[in-house]
Structures are given as structure tokens and as C-alpha cells.
Amino acid sequence: MNAPNKQSIKSLLVGVICLASSFNIAINTANAEPCFDNAQSAYQYLLVQEAKQTQARTQTSININRATEGELTTLNGIGSSKAQAIILYREIFGTFKTVDELTKVKGIGAKTVEKNRGRLTVQDQ
């Protein structure tokens, strides 16, 4: 038997909340997903939620002198191995003085820096 994934558990919880609300059972629904009449409405809701998460992720500034591997991987063209290379470079050579110094990290070129320039910073804001 396969272990339930996060999405199936979420769907089950939404169903329980909808069922409970239809029987007027008082439960805390502050963080609950809304109930929908049809699958198309539910799908549209999920698309909007995903778009909001993507927008939040792409608008967040990343301090390359403090960012974790997970934060660095939200940048365009930066996967786990490049994020680890940035952190290793930081540990060996110290903090970056400018965003452009990121090109000194093996595997990161000027194009990658340019794609992410609007989100990169070297100081706390």
C-alpha cells in the first residue's frame, strides 16, 4: 500500500471540513480551504493559490551573504549544487561585497546574475 501524499491528505481534510460544516459542526476553519460546488471552481482556486505562492517567491529579496541553500534555489538558474557552491565560496572567501562578485562562484555566469539582479542583495534591508 502506498503512503498517502500531501495532496491526498489535504483533499481528505477539505472533505472532512466540508462535511462537518454541512452538519453545522463547530470547528476552527481559520486555515481551512473553502468548499466548492464543482471541480472547475476548486481547480481555479488552486491555480490562484499557486500563482500567489509563485509571485511571493519571485518578489522576495535574497541576501547572498546570509541565504540558505533553500532560499538560493528559488533563484533562476540556481539548483542545489550551485547553491551549495555559493555557500562554500562564502565560507572560504568571506562575504560578497557586490552582487556581481557572484560570478566568481564556479558555474555562475553574468547571465544568471542578470536574470536575478532584481532579487539579489548583499546587505540586510
pLDDT tens for 79-120 read: 999 999 999 999 999 999 999 999 999 999 999 999 999 999
Q: Tell me the fold of 62-121.
A: DNA polymerase; domain 1 (1.10.150)
Instruction: Tell me the per-residue pLDDT of 38-63, one tens digit each, with 9 for 90 and over.
Output: 888 888 888 888 887 776 666 689 99
Query: Is this model's pTM higher than 0.75 or not?
Result: no
Nearest alpha-carbon partner for 107 in 76, 124, 85: 85
- 84 in Cβ contact with 72 (< 8 Å): no
**Residue ranges per structural domain of the chain:** 6-59, 62-121
